[in-house]
Homo-oligomer: A and B are copies of this chain.
Amino acid sequence: MREGSGTTSDSPLVLLSGGGGGARLAAGLSQSSAERPLLVVTNTGDDFEHCGLTICPDTDSVLYAVSKTIDRQRGWGRGEESWAVFGELKNLGGPDWFQLGDKDLALHLARAAMLSAGQGLASVTQALGYRLDVPSSVSVLPATESPVRTHVVTEQETMAFQEYFVAHRCAPVLHDVVYEGIDSASPAEQLRDALGHVGAAGTDIVLGPSNPFLSLAPILAIPGMQELLRHAARRVVAVSPIIGGQALKGPAGKIMSELGLDVSAEGWTRFMSEQYPGLVDVWVWDETDQALAGDLRSEGMDIRTTQTVMSDPSRARAFGDWLLGVCDSGH
């Protein structure tokens, strides 16, 4: 964290996002921060190749969330979706483990056309955001343009994360997670540009309430990424994905536990501060976990609590407002 109180209102608030929680927070902040640009850096580790197409689940969730085209019930994919192609794909014996809605598929095809024509993933994502009417104050940017693919190592085999997550419904016990390609990856040039122009005062960086192994690590382990973020940061705020001893949604708690995380807000905080020493300035927990904060606070950690559950857009916006307040308040 930098000293000084220069205004950062022109600098984009940066959100690192993966999965549903990150997308909901992106939508909340895009409402709250109308006065301040928002740069959402998305996890590319979940990207995978399917039926000839490059599918970017985390990036797409953010695009759909901030353009208000997401299906709010499901929490992924497009609202008012139809399934004509997917129905016929099943008739034809095609793979049916990954659901492809018609509108969603159109985005994958548009992306494929641009990628085939030689456009980079960042510029493709920007073009898609423009077409989806993402607010002009919001940029959605894949963390890297180099292919990074999260593979999970289970007792039986190693497989692509989406296959584990969707086809196997996270049933196999996880032994390890590997990020294929990450050693030769680098932060997207547009991200380096954006963070290179935040000025001396730095800007605020939020780590969304996302799985540390599956959503944040494939961003933060990109060589040069942590240095880039530290250099640009006025303040780094991390939001706990664990509430009341479990992940809010789905099997994330199981995954974190199998990978050795003590599944509690305290366990998550200790894990993150050991994994990324000195990176995070402010730890945000749900108010449910308030009673657990004593030990860490006595060790000097800045833990704040509030309602972090973003069960609808107004709660997401309220949480976004609160987070912006934390960013602007300093100590």
Interchain CA distance A116-B95 in the complex, whole Å: 12
Answer yes or no: A127 CB below 8 A from chain B CBs.
yes
Q: Is the CB of B82 within 8 A of A106?
A: no
Query: In the complex, which residues of chain B have a beta carbon less than 8 angstroms from the beta carbon of A85?
Result: 84-85, 102-103, 105-106, 109
Answer yes or no: A128 CB below 8 A from chain B CBs.
yes
Answer yes or no: A131 CB below 8 A from chain B CBs.
yes
Binds B, one of A33-41, A49-57, A143-151: A49-57
Q: Is the CB of A52 within 8 A of B84?
A: no
Q: Is the CB of A113 within 8 A of B82?
A: no
Interchain CA distance A44-B215 in the complex, whole Å: 43
Q: Chain A 111-130 against B: per-residue CB contact (8 Å), 1 yes, 0 no? A: 01101100000000001100
Interchain CA distance A85-B109 in the complex, whole Å: 9
Interchain CA distance A115-B53 in the complex, whole Å: 12
Q: Chain A 45-77 against B: per-residue CB contact (8 Å), 1 yes, 0 no? A: 000011111100000000000000000000000
Q: Is the CB of A84 within 8 A of B102?
A: yes
Interchain CA distance A106-B127 in the complex, whole Å: 25
Q: Is the CB of A103 within 8 A of B116?
A: no
Given contacts A84-B103, A102-B85, contact A93 B112 (CB under 8 A): no
Query: In the complex, which residues of chain B have a beta carbon less than 8 angstroms from the beta carbon of A110?
Result: 51, 89, 92-94
Say how far A112's CB is from chain B's closest CB, in angstroms.
3
Interchain CA distance A108-B132 in the complex, whole Å: 25
Say how far A71's CB is from chain B's closest CB, in angstroms.
14
Query: In the complex, which residues of chain B have a beta carbon less than 8 angstroms from the beta carbon of A84?
Result: 82, 84-85, 102-103
Of the residues B93, B109, B127, contact of A89 by C-beta under 8 Å: B109
Of the residues B53, B92, B100, B102, contact of A52 by C-beta under 8 Å: B53
Query: In the complex, which residues of chain B have a beta carbon less than 8 angstroms from the beta carbon of A82?
Result: 84
Query: In the complex, which residues of chain B have a beta carbon less than 8 angstroms from the beta carbon of A89?
Result: 106, 109-110
Query: In the complex, which residues of chain B have a beta carbon less than 8 angstroms from the beta carbon of A103?
Result: 84-85, 88
8 A Cβ contacts from A14-50 to B: 49-50
Answer yes or no: A156 CB below 8 A from chain B CBs.
no
Query: In the complex, which residues of chain B have a beta carbon less than 8 angstroms from the beta carbon of A100?
Result: 109
Q: Which 10 A-B pairs have the closest CB atoms?
A: A52-B112, A88-B106, A94-B110, A84-B102, A51-B109, A92-B110, A89-B106, A52-B52, A92-B131, A51-B113
